[in-house]
Structure 1
């Protein structure tokens, strides 16, 4: 049985840990509110932008001339893996890494064996995980969450788009956590490049409306395609950011509860140990008194 001093030290240690987890939960909750507002505002914009591109390109072959729409034989693959910079957020990062590895093993196992699968890490945890697994990792944008902004993500998207247009990669996919609620994140794997055309609903009749394009149809499509790709990546990063804070808030809440349970158990152990020590001292006194009396 542990001594009273050891139990007291453990109680102090657990109590300090509980205070830290409570503070981290409160910080995560405050950050979650801002991140949640950002992604809720972004979703309709991203959806409408994609719809605009589909509407403008419908019935026209102009979108097929884009360098971002060229379908090639898949030899070189780039996976954009969005994780967090810090831990203490449950299985948030582990789930993303597992999903990316599953995607590689199922769809790009041959390319992986030839060393033609590269990882663009957004978040330190993903970079560290894939570096340990022997993948070539691009860490240029690993600290995106340090100062998250559209300009930072846009720079990453432009680098990826330029590499694809030059033929350095044949397919680009994004793996990230989609925010559903505080306790739930959904793993998503989306193809970014080449652009996936929206499926045509055969039950919907084509519109006979003649659009008047200003400045021109070519310029509008040339502007919409890059912007849609940048928004797609920015939306994925915002989803991951909100998911991270939700996962950390949940993890810290659970840690605080576990610390409380452990404190109750330790206090019971402390009281039992203290009672046993007092009982032992009483018995020693009684035994000494009886010895003196005899």
Structure 2
């Protein structure tokens, strides 16, 4: 049985840990409100813009004009954008991203990976640290993007990916991130960034949109598609940010509950140890008194 001093030290340590987890939960909750508002505001806009983007891309592909954004090439080199967090203590948030990237490579790009033609672009320090230790090419120029997450910083990353695709450095670009659903639920997503995926063909002709272009179809394509791709990447980053805060809030809440349960057990152990010590002292006193009587 541990001594009273040891049990008391453990109780003090758990109380200190519980205070830290409570504080981290409150900080994550405050950040979650802000990040949740941002993703809620941009998501309808991004979804509508993505629909317009795919329709415009398909219309351009069917015309005589050239649209490199939706150009389908033989897949030889692949870029996977892995969006993680900068810090830990957020449950399985980051490990899900790593597993998602591994699953994507195993299912779709196993041959390219074997040839060394798969490159990872990590966004978030945890992804950068993880993939830097693996046998894979890493582009770490945007690993610290979450330290100052703005539309301009996201646009710079999107421009890098668009230029690399246009120059033929990569034949396909995919993004792996956690989509925010609610505080307790994050959905792992793997979405194709480039080439732009045309809308799925459907027998329902009412879903087909015929656009009137002004000033011209080419100018609209050249102007709107890059902006739409930047918005799509920015939405993925905001989704990941909100998911991270939700995951951290849930993890810290669970840690606080676990600390409370541990405190109950430690206090019970402390009381039992204390009672055992008191009983032992009483027995020693009684034994000493009996020895004096018999002397």
- Per the normalisation by structure 2, the TM-score is 0.95
Give the 3-state SS of the residue equivalent to 1:133 in structure 2.
Answer: coil
Q: Which residue of 2 aligns with 1:232?
A: 232
Structure-1 separation of matches of 2:78 and 2:58: 29
**Structure 1 runs, 4 residues or longer, greater than 4 Å off:** 54-60, 205-210
**C-alpha separation between the residues in 1 aligned to 2:102 and 2:252?**
27
The answer for the alignment partner of 2:126 in structure 1 is: 125
Contact 1:73 1:170 in 2 (8 A): yes
Pairs within 5 Å for 1:68-87: 68-87=69-88
Kept in 1: contact 2:57–2:69 (CA 8 A): no
Partner of 1:89: 90
How does 1:190-229 map onto structure 2 within 5 Å? 190-205=191-206, 211=212, 213-229=213-229
> What is the aligned partner in structure 1 of residue 107 from structure 2?
106
Contact 1:119 1:136 in 2 (8 A): yes
Q: SS in structure 1 opposite 2:205?
A: coil
**CA distance in 2 between partners of 1:40 and 1:263 (Å):** 39
> Cα 1:63–1:261, aligned 2, differ >3 Å: closer, same or farther?
farther
The structural deviation recorded for 1:191 is: 0.5
Maintained 8 Å contact 1:154/1:230? yes
Structure 1 residue 57, shift from structure 2 partner: 5.2
Distance 1:107 1:36, change over 3 A: same
**Aligned position for 2:3:** 3
Distance 2:173 2:79 in 1: 5
Change (3 A) 1:151 1:209: closer
- 2:12 — aligned with what? 12
- Work out the CA distance in 2 between the residues paired with 1:111 and 1:275: 67
What is the CA–CA distance in structure 2 between the aligned matches of 1:95 and 1:28, rounded to whole Å? 19
Partner of 2:277: 277
Q: TM-score, normalised by structure 1?
A: 0.95
User: Secondary structure in 2 aligned to 1:180?
Assistant: strand
Partner of 2:242: 242
Consecutive unaligned residues of structure 2, counting only runs of 5 or more, are none
Partner deviation per Cα, 1:86-117 (whole Å, 9 max, x = no partner): 00000000011101101101111111111111
Would you say how many aligned residue pairs link Structure 1 and Structure 2? 293
**1:83–1:124 CA contact under 8 A, matched in 2:** yes
Residue 187 (structure 2) aligns with: 186
Aligned-partner Cα distance in 1 for 2:55–2:111: 37
Q: Distance in 2 between matches of 1:129 and 1:273?
A: 45
Partner SS for 1:196:
coil
Residue 42 in 1 paired to residue 45 in 2? Answer: no
Report the Cα distance in structure 2 between the residues aligned to 1:124 and 1:193, rounded to whole angstroms: 24
The answer to whether the 8 A contact 1:63-1:221 is kept is no
Q: Give the conservation status (yes or no) of the 8 Å contact 1:64–1:70.
A: no
1:252 matched residue in structure 2 = 252
Q: Aligned-pair RMSD on alpha carbons?
A: 1.7
User: Map of 1:137-148 to 2, 5 A cutoff?
Assistant: 137-148=138-149
Q: Judge which range, 13-22 or 65-74, deviates more.
A: 65-74
